[in-house]
Structure 1
Amino acid sequence: MDGLSWFALAIIFFVILTLTYGIVAIHDIPYKIAKARNHPHAQAIHTGGWVSLFTLHAIWPLLWIWATAYDPSQGYSGSDNRAESPAEKKREVKRLKARIAELESEIKT
């Protein structure tokens, strides 16, 4: 083989390696989105990305949608349901109990 053949072979290997890396990197995009959003199912999305490599990318768009559908401050519902701290919850329960007791005393009188 002459030098040009070796150069062509090197280019073929480079292209194959680049395409392989590109395919793997593309399949990690939903996982990176899920990880950035603190998605509760980030590991499942990551596993789904690897499975989609073997299913000819059939489930990859679904993984993308699944990863982007979750918002850390709103969850899946889109409503503002931020988690309250335990101290805030205790104060709210105490306030509601006091209000119930007040209403019960009004009903008795």
Structure 2
Amino acid sequence: MTALDQVALGILVFMAVVAVAVLVFFGGWPGRVAAARNHPYRSAVSIGGWITLIAGGVFYPLVLIWAYAGSTDAEVEAAAEETAA
């Protein structure tokens, strides 16, 4: 192997590592958002993020919106106080 072949192989390995890291980041993003916002269906959002990403990503934006649309505890408490008053 020449030095150029080794550089090309190194770049190829680096690109594969970056591709896996990007896949892991995007697969876990909806789950992390749902957990941070105390989403009532955070487990389903997390699983939905991985499944939709692996299955082609067509519904991935919907799962991400679902993760951000979850109510936080403060919003739930405020809504309960408004309905009780």
TM over 0.5: yes
Tell me, in whole angstroms, the C-alpha distance in 1 between the residues paired with 2:69 and 2:41: 11
In the TM superposition, residue 71 of structure 1 has moved relative to its aligned partner by 2.1
The 4+ residue runs of structure 1 with deviation greater than 6 A are: none
Asked if structure 1 preserves the Cα contact closer than 8 Å seen for 2:31 and 2:45, the reply is yes
Structure 1: segments with no counterpart, 5+ residues: 84-109
User: CA offsets per residue over residues 45-85 of structure 1, 9 Å max, x none?
Assistant: 1111110122211121011111111121225xxxx3247xx
Residue 66 of structure 2 corresponds to which residue in structure 1?
66
Which structure: larger Rg?
1
Alignment pair present for 1:36 and 2:33? no
- Structure with the higher fraction of residues in helix conformation: 2
Partner of 2:46: 46
Q: Which runs of 5+ in 2 are unaligned?
A: none
Q: Cα RMSD (Å) of the superposition?
A: 1.9
SS at match of 2:79: coil
The CA distance in 2 between the partners of 1:62 and 1:44, in whole Å, is: 13
- 2 CA distance for matches of 1:6 and 1:26? 30
Structure 2 counterpart of 1:60, which letter?
Y
Please give the TM-score of this superposition, normalised by the length of structure 1: 0.65
Q: How many residues align?
A: 80
Structure of higher RCO (CA pairs closer than 8 Å, 6+ residues apart): 2
C-alpha displacement of 1:34: 0.5
Equivalent residue for 2:79?
A: 81
CA distance in 1, matches of 2:80, 2:7: 59
Alignment TM-score, normalising by the size of structure 2: 0.81
